[in-house]
Structure 1
């Protein structure tokens, strides 16, 4: 057994389903590391990520020499890094503040190089088994969920998807809906999760609750199974409707695969599309149309400019909704009705 006190390490947000008391030892052989394996590491140098997101939902400043617990994983974030779930004992890269360690492949030139972590080993339980996020996932549900789902997609990172998702969730809550807010794809982080909680959602979960620290490079069937797990849990908890955000943009590998797959699309009742300007709106709507998808509304950064709103509506024939409108219970009810449900059960 190793002499590390695992509870003194800074455990990241993506490990929040795992009890630190289960950590008893280390496997120093990293050659068999799998995505989701928990890695005990020591901070070598501070780069882009100066803080780690803790399971409590607060950021903790990092210092050289800190012990951290991060799951191994890949990442795809055009505004930050692309990285793979690969480790090097000489030093690996912190790919996300919410918890993801791997090997950076490329980065956005506007950000610093990644914070460097020396992997000390894979964390093991008392019986010597490596702890992996997949072993602590929510249980799968036997039958597909029937809950109506409004899926929020966008052109890219920072197009306004999370703001729209949270605003709609709050509007639905105010209209009397018991609303689940879920994130189906992405990399584990508490920013979006906290925004959903703050909006007053009745149930909040993301792909990490389905056992994946990240969905990048995960097989499509596993991602779909994770979405089914989240929707099934929301339905079991009595939610009437779900709003689900998909990460990044419609060209991102996993998002594109979900939208192109007819069977995967059966999970989603209707779509909101977030984008930054009218050209993005026209291009995005055209791209979605290739898969037989027509959004019920446009939203996102675009909605901040009345002139851009006019241009987008003229180009696409689709209404643009502002954050204020999504927050309005009347508008939220109208969007819910488009899924086939006529009114909030609580208001019946």
Structure 2
């Protein structure tokens, strides 16, 4: 029988709750379970910072970063992480110490790290937070209600060659441009690891609705069943539609070779729902390889953007190599050009698919 220890509200109030836990009702946590061996992705963990490593700050549920100190109490979610530029880790907890895999609040066991990364911040798990019944608190219990993908919404996918290729900037700028053009826009991150950087960047665009996979109950989509990720995306789009959104710009994390991203793009339910896909690349060679990979999945890229667009020479090379137009971040943010891109995508859709009407561009003050 698992031992359960009562925990006081005062202890939880002192703890730093990570961004990944932002949907959780804190008053639900009344006990601690010592059964760390059975922790699964999304379970909430109360821990004590033992050693400061790569992550020197924690992204708080309130939306700001907090300096970490040895001895700090933190509430994180057990989870996996896939980040070629940082850490790859598994949703496993060692009572002697676990690894902080992401500043947004993911705790697990590091398996690989990039050579430029220092060792992860170490956290001693004190226990899993539970309800009064003893049931472990999991992010899934606080997710948005599942819903089917809406009809009549135009969805634009944004994928990339890798981390830091310019995907999030592309989503943010396009969402901003379309918002200024008069559309009700959703900016959504469908896969990745819980963190507030991308989320906050989307909020700043003026998008009518912003959400990510944590709103669908997942701290990370790495190693999650494909059906669950698909259902999560459908749910996020459905809730965006309920907020009156006409267009959704959706980011898929990491590169097109990352397993969950590749698997999603190969699914007709996901692939065929996109009016178009914009590809973000760091350079012309990555643009050529990425566009070829997308075409191998039956997807014709609508545009190339990302870091390659910052270089006129690089952009020219990419256009020659791919046959696809390169658009800069400023062009995506321009309401007239964002509207024109949307128009091309809508016109290229199957005539049987419902689509948003293209508006006369009107820039908000």
Using the size of structure 1 for normalisation, the TM-score is 0.97
Q: Which of 3, 6, 10 matches 1:2? A: 6
Matched, 1:47 2:53: yes
Matched, 1:188 2:187: no
**1:314 aligns to 2:320 (yes or no):** yes
1:106 and 2:121 matched = no
Once the two structures are superposed, what CA deviation does each residue of 1:85-115 show, in whole Å capped at 9, x if it has no partner? 0010000000000010000001001011100
Separation of aligned partners in 2, 1:346 and 1:122:
52
Secondary structure of 1:201's counterpart equals coil
Q: 8 Å contact 2:336–2:361 — kept in the other structure?
A: no
- 2:264 counterpart residue number: 258
Is 97-106 or 127-136 further displaced after alignment? 127-136
Please, what is the CA RMSD of the aligned residues?
A: 1.3
Which secondary structure does the structure 2 equivalent of 1:335 belong to?
Answer: helix
| Matched position secondary structure for 1:89 | coil
CA 233–114 in structure 1, closer or farther in 2 if over 3 Å, else same: same
- Asked if 1:12 is matched to 2:27, the reply is no
Question: What is aligned with 2:84?
Answer: 78
Residue 142 (structure 1) shift? 4.5
SS in 2 for 1:123: strand
Written as runs of structure 1 = structure 2, the 5 A alignment for 1:134-153 is 134-142=140-148, 144-153=150-159
Which residue in 1 is equivalent to 2:99?
93
- Alignment of 1:38 with 2:11, yes or no, is no
Superposition deviation, residue 268 in structure 1: 1.7
Name 1:221's counterpart in structure 2: 227
Q: How far apart, CA to CA, are the structure 1 residues paired with 2:257 and 2:208? A: 31
**1:161: which partner in 2?**
167
User: Are residues 1:293 and 2:308 paired?
Assistant: no
Structure 1 position 128, deviation (Å): 2.0
Distance in 1 (alpha carbons) for counterparts of 2:7 and 2:41: 25
Shift in Å at residue 339 of structure 1?
3.4
CA contact (8 A) 1:270 1:338 kept: no
1:178 maps to what in 2?
A: 184
217, 227, 240: which one pairs with 1:211?
217
**In 2, distance between residues paired with 1:276 and 1:181?**
22
Q: Shift of the alpha carbon at 1:262? A: 1.8
| 2:64 paired residue among 51, 58, 63 | 58
Superposed CA deviations along residues 169-199 of structure 1, whole A, max 9, x for unmatched, are 1100110000000000000000000000001
Report how many aligned residue pairs link the two structures.
347
1:267 aligns to 2:273 (yes or no): yes
Distance 1:117 1:140 in 2: 33
**Could you tell me how far apart the structure 2 residues matched to 1:34 and 1:335 are?**
42
Counterpart-to-counterpart distance in 2, 1:25 and 1:269: 47
